[in-house]
Each structure stands twice: as structure tokens, then as C-alpha cells.
């Protein structure tokens, strides 16, 4: 550990009156429950043979008894050898993973080293939570570690969970929650004797399930705020203080959304936690998967053979919450404005002889989620009569403009001689006669052929 190894005497902080000294909660409204079930996309994180997992600040996940560490914000897993330690709790602090076992506290490394904190903590640690700055260890009493100082909180309740939420940290006990600030002074408390589950979202909203009833405190300030009932029967709520999204889990149903409204969602596994982007981690059989409700993106109108600049459309979920779309063809990148997100796919910057190029479209939403769509695009030589216009004429014109027609249009020469006329007829949609107008991409192709000098 890079934390200072100075031995500190456990500092005793008495927090009198910070537990059940909260106001009753008037319920003043409801959170809308939408009808549309969002389609969930699931990202597989990795296999977990015995499905042991640990999370710190929603960022880190370690699976199995021989632990593998994954940053849940980046799919690429990095292996961390931890041998056969059987951890009871884990947290990520000062750039390292801290593991609590029956034999003490260990810091990541190969081999793992006993943490200097081990000497200071006598009781078994049942839960470790860190937001990267503060470390909380739940032993007989909650222990707080920061910048080399270990403090024990003296509270007349058994703290069972810790939820770091920015400026404050919420501590859960059997009859509710209380919050402490950076100096460990009690700043907020919620009385909830039948508390089953609690979660805090980025806006500081406190979501609770109490006796099967789900509610949320909005615009809350020390002990008051507005409580809204959520009209669903649930057992648990999951959220991350870095995201506004909440996941509400009932017996056989689940919902997700924000205080602005929630909608039903279908889950195929047991919910575990939410990451900093509001994505739910679920255990499904032997694997842990990441469920995100929306971020979906498709790229439309990509031609089979790209010979000249064409417009393509990026169809993104939640278009109004999209913060950026970029389109990259090999090395050349351009932003796409929208919605609707229509960008130009232009092969003219590619080296000659290119036959295939990588199209990469990146969509970023304002909650930080991102989807990258990649595909190989075949690149054609310039437009020619033989490869492009001849077949187009044969397919769309020649049945009425064959050799015996008053206006024959089956050779390059005929097209070239009547080109302005053809363009006018095709551009206005008058031709092909009685049929649907040619798509813009075909009209562009005809133009590109003329631009290239009718090869």
C-alpha cells in the first residue's frame, strides 16, 4: 500500500444523536411508472466459476476465489493474482486492491502483502467500501481511514453498509440511515425502521425500500425533503452515486429510470450492483453481465461499395441525450451534428488502391455511456459505365429505353449525349416512368460518373 504506515491510535469520535433522530417522512407524490419496456442490451464481463464478486465504488469487480479484477468501465480485464486468499471484503484504495480475510488485511501485489492496516484492525472486517479517497471498514464498529488516520465511529447502532455519495457518506443501520461529512460529523439522518434496501443517486436522491414500499427523497436536506412514493412492489433498489439511474427490483419484475419516471425492464439474472454509468451488474449463471438500458446505435445507409461521398445516418437511442457522434473512416475523423445524425462518408481521402476501409462511429451520451459501431466498408474504384452506370441503366431504364425505343439509353454514348436531360428527368422523379424515383445514392452515382468524365 502506498498509504503511510504510521501507527495511529484509534481515534474515537462520538456521534451522539446521529442515528434515529430523524423526522417522519410525509409522502407527497408519486414517481411516474412508464409503460414502455426498454430493451436491455447486455455486455458480458467475464466468467466467474464460483461467482464470488467484490465491488468498490461500483468500479472494480473481482471474481472467483482466484481473483480476477475487472474495471467495469472498461471491458478489458486485467488479471490480479491473489492466490487462494478467501476474502470477506474488498475495496480499491490508493491504486491497490485491499482484501480483508480472516487472517488480516492484504494489499494487492504478487505475492500479496499484509497491509499495515492489519495491525490496527483487530476485529474481522465484513465489508470494505472506498470511493478512492476514503476507506471504510465495517468491523464491530465502522472504521474510517483517510490520509494515514484511522478513526472509529462510536454509534449506538450496528452499521451494515456504507454508501459514499460525494461530499457525504451514508451509513446504513437496522433502523435507517445517517450521513456524515468529510470530518465525520453527522449531517443527515433518515428514520426507516422497516428498511430493506437503500441507494443514493447522483442528484443526492435517497431511494428506499421499506416494508415493500419504494420511495425516494428528492431535494433533501438534513432530515427533510420531499418524499415521493413509487407505485411498484419491490425488495431492493440499486444505484450508484455517479449516476441518476435507479434499478428497482421486485419479486419477479424490475424497473429502471430516474426520479423523472421509471419503466419496467426484463432482467435475466440476479442484480448485484450498479456501476458509475448507471449500468446494472447481474449474475446470470456463472457469469456476470452488465445491463444497460439504452445506449444503442446503428449506422444506416452504408453502401455495399463506397465509390464516392454518400450521406449515412446514425440511429442512436435516446437521441436527445446524445452529447457527441463522431464518424471515422480509417484515419480521418469528423463530428456529426444532430439529431438526426447525418454524416458524410467520403472515400476521397483514402490512399489509391484502397479496397477496404474501417468505418468507426462513436456515440457518446451525456451520462458518459458510449457505443462504438465498427464495420468494414468495401471501397470501389471511381465510377465507371461498365461497373456502375451500365448495370444501373440495365436494371432501371433499358426495359423502356432499349434499342428500338424512341429514346434508346443502353450505351454510355447515348447517356453522355443526353446527359443533362437524363439528370433532369431522374432528378425530378419523372424517370423511371411510373416508378419510384431513384434513391439519392444512385443519383449521386450518376453525378459522380459525369464528374469523372464519363469513364
Give the residue among 220, 222, 254 at the shortest CA–CA distance from 236: 254
CB of 345 closer than 8 Å to CB of 302: yes
Does residue 451 belong to the site contacting ligand HEC (CB under 6 A)? no
308 three-state secondary structure: coil
DSSP string covering 397-418: TTTTSSTTSSS---SHHHHHHT
Nearer to ligand HEC, 226 or 384 (CB): 384
Nearer to ligand HEC, 179 or 426 (CB): 426
Burial code (b: 16+ CB inside 10 Å, e: under 16) for 277-308 equals bbbbbbbeeebbbbbbbbbbbebeeebeebbb
Nearer to ligand HEC, 326 or 425 (CB): 425
CA distances from 283 to 46, 288, 290, 294, 434 (A): 11, 4, 9, 20, 58
Does residue 25 belong to the site contacting ligand HEC (CB under 6 A)? no
Nearer to ligand HEC, 189 or 397 (CB): 397
Shortest distance, position 415 Cβ to ligand HEC, whole Å:
8
CA distance 39 to 123: 45
Shortest distance, position 68 Cβ to ligand HEC, whole Å:
60
CA distance 176 to 195: 6
Shortest distance, position 405 Cβ to ligand HEC, whole Å:
5
CA distance 390 to 332: 32
Q: Which helix (H) or strand (E) holds 357?
A: strand 356-365
Nearer to ligand HEC, 187 or 426 (CB): 426
**SS3 for 15-32, per residue?**
CCCCCCCCCCCCEEEEEC
Nearer to ligand HEC, 82 or 385 (CB): 385
Shortest distance, position 311 Cβ to ligand HEC, whole Å:
21
Q: Mask: binding to ligand HEC, 240-259, rule CB under 6 A, as x and -?
A: --------------------
Shortest distance, position 454 Cβ to ligand HEC, whole Å:
14
Task: Find out whether the peptide bond into 340 is cis, omega within 30 degrees of 0.
Answer: yes
Shortest distance, position 408 Cβ to ligand HEC, whole Å:
8
Give the residue among 444, 431, 427 at the shortest CA–CA distance from 399: 431
Give the residue among 397, 406, 391 at the shortest CA–CA distance from 433: 397
Shortest distance, position 301 Cβ to ligand HEC, whole Å:
20
Q: Which residue is nearest to ligand HEC (CB)?
A: 397
Hey, which residues between 355 and 414 contact ligand HEC (CB under 6 A)?
Answer: 396-397, 399-401, 405-407, 409
Count, residues near ligand HEC per rule CB under 6 A: 20
Nearer to ligand HEC, 283 or 410 (CB): 410
Shortest distance, position 442 Cβ to ligand HEC, whole Å:
8
CA distance 380 to 236: 56
Hey, which residues between 412 and 441 contact ligand HEC (CB under 6 A)?
Answer: 418, 421-422, 425-426, 431-435, 438
Nearer to ligand HEC, 358 or 395 (CB): 395
Nearer to ligand HEC, 116 or 432 (CB): 432
Give the residue among 210, 251, 252 at the shortest CA–CA distance from 230: 210
Does residue 272 belong to the site contacting ligand HEC (CB under 6 A)? no
Nearer to ligand HEC, 91 or 393 (CB): 393
CA distance 75 to 73: 6
Decide the pairing of beta strands 113-114 and 127-130.
unpaired
Decide the pairing of beta strands 161-165 and 305-306.
unpaired
Residues at the interface with ligand HEC (CB under 6 A): 396-397, 399-401, 405-407, 409, 418, 421-422, 425-426, 431-435, 438
Amino acid at each position: 500500500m502506498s498509504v503511510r504506515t504510521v501507527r495511529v491510535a484509534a481515534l474515537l469520535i462520538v456521534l451522539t444523536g446521529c442515528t434515529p433522530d430523524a423526522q417522519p417522512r410525509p409522502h407527497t407524490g408519486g414517481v411516474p411508472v412508464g409503460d414502455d419496456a426498454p430493451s436491455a442490451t447486455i455486455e458480458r464481463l467475464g466468467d466467474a466459476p464460483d461467482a464470488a464478486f467484490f465491488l468498490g465504488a461500483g468500479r472494480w469487480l473481482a471474481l472467483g476465489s482466484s481473483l480476477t479484477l475487472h474495471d467495469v468501465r472498461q471491458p478489458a480485464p486485467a488479471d490480479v493474482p491473489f492466490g487462494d486468499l478467501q476474502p470477506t471484503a474488498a475495496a480499491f484504495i490508493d491504486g491497490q486492491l485491499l482484501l480483508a480475510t480472516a487472517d488480516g488485511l492484504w494489499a494487492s501485489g504478487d505475492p500479496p502483502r499484509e497491509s499495515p492496516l492489519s495491525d490496527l484492525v483487530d476485529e474481522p472486517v465484513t465489508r470494505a467500501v472506498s470511493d478512492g479517497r476514503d476507506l471504510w471498514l465495517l468491523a464491530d464498529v465502522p472504521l474510517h481511514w483517510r490520509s494515514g488516520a484511522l478513526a472509529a465511529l462510536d454509534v449506538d447502532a450496528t452499521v451494515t453498509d456504507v454508501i459514499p455519495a460525494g461530499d457525504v457518506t451514508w451509513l446504513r443501520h437496522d433502523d435507517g440511515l445517517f450521513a456524515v461529512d468529510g470530518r465525520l460529523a453527522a449531517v443527515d439522518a433518515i428514520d426507516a425502521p422497516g428498511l430493506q434496501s437503500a441507494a443514493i443517486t447522483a442528484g443526492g436522491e435517497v431511494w428506499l425500500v421499506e416494508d415493500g414500499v419504494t420511495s425516494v427523497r428528492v431535494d433533501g436536506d438534513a432530515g427533510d425533503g420531499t418524499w415521493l412514493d413509487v407505485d411498484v412492489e419491490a425488495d431492493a433498489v440499486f444505484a450508484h452515486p455517479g449516476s441518476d439511474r435507479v434499478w428497482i427490483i421486485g419479486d419477479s419484475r424490475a424497473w429502471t429510470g430516474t426520479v423523472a419516471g421509471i419503466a419496467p425492464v426484463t432482467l435475466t439474472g440476479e442484480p448485484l450492483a450498479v456501476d458509475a454509468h448507471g449500468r446494472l451488474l447481474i449474475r446470470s449463471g456463472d457469469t456476470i453481465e452488465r445491463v444497460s438500458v439504452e445506449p444503442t446505435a446503428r449506422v444506416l445507409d452504408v453502401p455495399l461499395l463506397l465509390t464516392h461521398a454518400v450521406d449515412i445516418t446514425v440511429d442512436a437511442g435516446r437521441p436527445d441525450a446524445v452529447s457527441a457522434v463522431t464518424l471515422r473512416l480509417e484515419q480521418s475523423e469528423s463530428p456529426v451534428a444532430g439529431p438526426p445524425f447525418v454524416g458524410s462518408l467520403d472515400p476521397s481521402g483514402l490512399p489509391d488502391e484502397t479496397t477496404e476501409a474501417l468505418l468507426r462511429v462513436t456515440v457518446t451520451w451525456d451520462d458518459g455511456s458510449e457505443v462504438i459501431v465498427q464495420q468494414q466498408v468495401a471501397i470501389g474504384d471511381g465510377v465507371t459505365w461498365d461497373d456502375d452506370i451500365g448495370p444501373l441503366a440495365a436494371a432501371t431504364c433499358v426495359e423502356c429505353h432499349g434499342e428500338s425505343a424512341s429514346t434508346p439509353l443502353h450505351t454510355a454514348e447515348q447517356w453522355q449525349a443526353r446527359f443533362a436531360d437524363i439528370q433532369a428527368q431522374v432528378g425530378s422523379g419523372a424517370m423511371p416512368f411510373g416508378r419510384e424515383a431513384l434513391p439519392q445514392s444512385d443519383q449521386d452515382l450518376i453525378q459522380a460518373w459525369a464528374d469523372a468524365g464519363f469513364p
